[in-house]
Structure 1
Amino acid sequence: MNKTIDKKTLHSVFWRSFALQGAFNYEKMQNIGYAYAMTPVIKKLYDKENDQAEALKRHLALFNSTPAVTPAIMGISTAMEEQNANHSGTFDASSINAVKAALMAPLAGIGDSLFFGTFRVIAAGIGISLAQKGSILGPILFLVLYNIPNFAARIWGLKYGYKVGVSSLEKLQKNGLMDRIMSIVGIIGMMVVGGMVATMLVVQTTIKFSMAGATVKIQSIIDQIIPNLLPLLITLFVFYLIRKKVSISKLTVGILIIGILAHVVGIL
C-alpha cells in the first residue's frame, strides 16, 4: 500500500519552517532547520530507523534560500520523499538533494527581491511615517503588511509545491525524463557555483616589481591572461581538500589564518 502525506503532516512542516534559521551555521547554513522541518515527513513515510537516518542525512546537506519561499522547496522535497518511499527500488534518492540545490538559488533571488527589497521596504516606509507621528499603528502596520505576503507565500508554496511535485514526478518517472532533468539540474548548479566564485570571491595579489624603469603588477598580468584566475585556483584547491576529507572547520580556520598572514606580509 502506497504511503501518502496527510494535511496534519504538512501543517507540521509549515510551522517548523519558521525555525529554518534557528541553527544557522557557516558550514551548511540552513541545513539543520531544513532537516527539522522535514522530520515529520520522514517519520510518516519511513518505518525503519535506517531509512529515517538516511533521509535525515539527505536533508542535512548544504541549503540556503529566502525563508519565505523555502516551504515551496520543502513541498517538492516532501513529494519526492513520498515517491522514494513508495518506489525505493526505482527512484533515485540522490535527485532529492539535486533538485533542492537547483531551486534554492533562483528562488532566493526572487524571494530576496520581493520580501527584503520590496515588501519590507514598503511596510517599513508606511510604519515609520506613522510612528514618527506618535501613532501606535506604525509598528503594527509594519508587521501586518510584511507578514501577510510572507505567510501567504509560505502556505501557498508548501501546498502547491507538494501538489505539483506529486503529479509531475509520476509523469517524469513514466516518461523517463528524470535523468534528463538531473543532467540539466547538475549543469545549472555548476553554473551558479561558477558565477558565485567569479562575482563573490575577490582575491587579488599586490605583488609588483620594477623592470626597465616601469612598475609591473602581477595582478594586471593575471587579469590579461584569465580574469578571476586566483579565485578559481583557490576554489579548486579547497574543493580538492574537501574531496580528501579535510574538515570544513579546519579549512575555514586555515583560510582565515592564511588570508590574514598574506595581507600582513603584503602578498594579497
Structure 2
Amino acid sequence: MEEKTGKRSLGPAFVRSFLRCYFASAGFNTRGLQNVGFSYAMQPGLEAIYDDPAELAKARKRYVKHFNSHPFWAPLLVAIFLSVEVQIRDGRFPELLLDKLKNTTSYTLSAIGDSVFSGSGLIFWALATVNLLLAGLHTQAMLLGIGMFVGLQIFKVFTFWSGISKGLGFLDELKRWDLINWGERLKFANGFLVLLIWVQLWPRPLNVWDWYGGAVVLGGLGWVVTTGKVAREIVAVIVVVLGLLVKFV
C-alpha cells in the first residue's frame, strides 16, 4: 500500500477502489452482469498504477468484459487484480494470462460464495433471528444482526488488505480456510435451527411419536427428491397437505 507511481501513492487510490466495491452490483446488466460495477471499482487503482494514458486505456478495457462473482468477494477480487496490474506494469506478469486468471478466480470464488455465504451463512442468520424473535429475545436478535453486519465489513477489509499485500499468494491461504466444509457444517446447524422453530411453533403439547413419525416422513420425502424419483414441486405440495392435516385433525 506504500508503493508509489511517480509522485502518487497507491494507498489512497486503493482505498477508493475498496469503497467502490460496495457498488459492484449496482450496474448489473444482462450482457456483462457485474462488469460495470467492477470496472468502476477498479478505476481509481488503475489510474494510480498507470501514468501512460495509452496503458491506462488498455487496462480499463481489460475490466469492461463479462464479469460475475459473489458480491462479498468483490473487495478481494478487486485487490488481487490491482496487485496483478502492478505486476503487469512492471513486466512481472504476462498480460495475456489475465483473462484466464480473472475468469477462473471469479467463478471459483462465486461458487464458494454462493454455497457458504448465500446458501449457509445468510440462512443461519435468518433462522437464528427467527428463533430469537419467537423466544421474545428482540434485543438479542438485533445484536445478532449488527454483529454479523460488522463481521462482514471486517471480512471485506481483511480480504482486501490481504489481496493487495499478498496478491495471488493469498488464494493459497484462502484455500486452507476450508470454507466449503464450514458451509456444510453451517447447513447442519441450520437444520437444528429449523427444528427449534418447529418446537416453538408446535400448536399442542409435544408427542414423541409425532416427532418420530414426522422425521420418518420428511426423511422419506428428502430421499425421493434426492434420488430424483419425485419432482420437488410435488413433494412441496405433499408437505403442505400434511401440515394442514396435522393442524386440523
User: TM-score under structure 1 normalisation?
Assistant: 0.55
Show the counterpart of 1:156. Answer: 158
Give the Å deviation of 1:17: 0.5
Aligned partners of 1:69 and 1:154 also within 8 Å: yes
Structure 1 partner of 2:118: 116
Aligned to 1:19: 23
- Distance (whole Å) between structure 1 residues aligned to residue 26 and residue 99 of structure 2: 21
Kindly state the Cα deviation for residue 163 of structure 1 after the two structures are TM-superposed.
1.9
Q: After superposition, where does 1:52-71 map in structure 2 within 5 Å?
A: 52-71=56-75
Q: 1:123 is matched by which residue type in structure 2?
A: W
The residue type paired with residue 35 of structure 2 is N
- Within the alignment, does 1:97 sit opposite 2:99 as a pair? yes
Stretch deviating more after TM superposition (124-133 or 33-42): 124-133
Contact 1:123 1:141 in 2 (8 A): no
Pair 119,91 (structure 1): closer, same or farther in 2 beyond 3 Å: closer
> Structure 1: which 4+ aligned runs deviate by more than 4 Å?
132-136
Mapped contact 1:42–1:52 kept (Cα < 8 A): yes
> C-alpha deviations, 1:199-237, integer Å up to 9, x for none?
xxxxxxxxxxxxxxxxxxxxxxxxxxxxxxxxxxxxxxx
Partner of 1:34 in structure 2?
38
Q: Deviations over 1:228-255 (max 9, x none)?
A: xxxxxxxxxxxxxxxxxxxxxxxxxxxx
Tell me if structure 2 keeps the 8 A contact 1:78–1:162: yes
Name the structure 1 match of 2:231: none
| 1:59 and 1:97 in contact (8 A); partners too | no
For 1:82-231, list aligned pairs within 5 A. 82-87=86-91, 91-132=93-134, 136-137=138-139, 140-141=142-143, 143-165=145-167
- Whole-angstrom CA distance in 2 between matches of 1:24 and 1:77: 20
CA distance in structure 2 between the aligned counterparts of 1:128 and 1:153, rounded to whole angstroms: 24
Cα RMSD (Å): 2.7
The Cα offsets for residues 36-69 of structure 1, whole Å up to 9 and x where unpaired, read as 1111111101123322221111011111111112
- TM normalised by structure 2 equals 0.58
Q: CA deviation digits over 1:108-139, x for unaligned, max 9? A: 11111221122211211222233446665376
Where in structure 2 are there 5+ consecutive unaligned residues? 171-249
1:10 aligns with 2:10: no
Separation in 2, partners of 1:2, 1:15: 20
Distance 2:107 2:133 in 1: 36
Once residues 136 and 102 of structure 1 are traced to their aligned partners in structure 2, the CA distance between those partners, rounded to angstroms, is: 43
The question of whether the paired residues in 2 share the 8 Å contact of 1:5 and 1:41 is answered with no
Counting aligned pairs with the same residue, the percent is 24
Q: 1:138 to 1:31 in 2, by over 3 A?
A: farther
1:119·1:146 contact (CA, 8 Å) conserved in 2? no
SS of equivalent to 2:167: helix
- CA distances 1:173-206 after superposition (whole Å, capped 9, x unpaired): xxxxxxxxxxxxxxxxxxxxxxxxxxxxxxxxxx
CA change 1:166–1:69 in 2 (3 A) is closer
Letter in 1 for 2:149: N
1:167 to 1:123, Cα distance in 2 relative to 1, 3 A: closer
Amino acid at match of 1:121: I
Structure 1 portions without partners, runs of 5+? 169-268
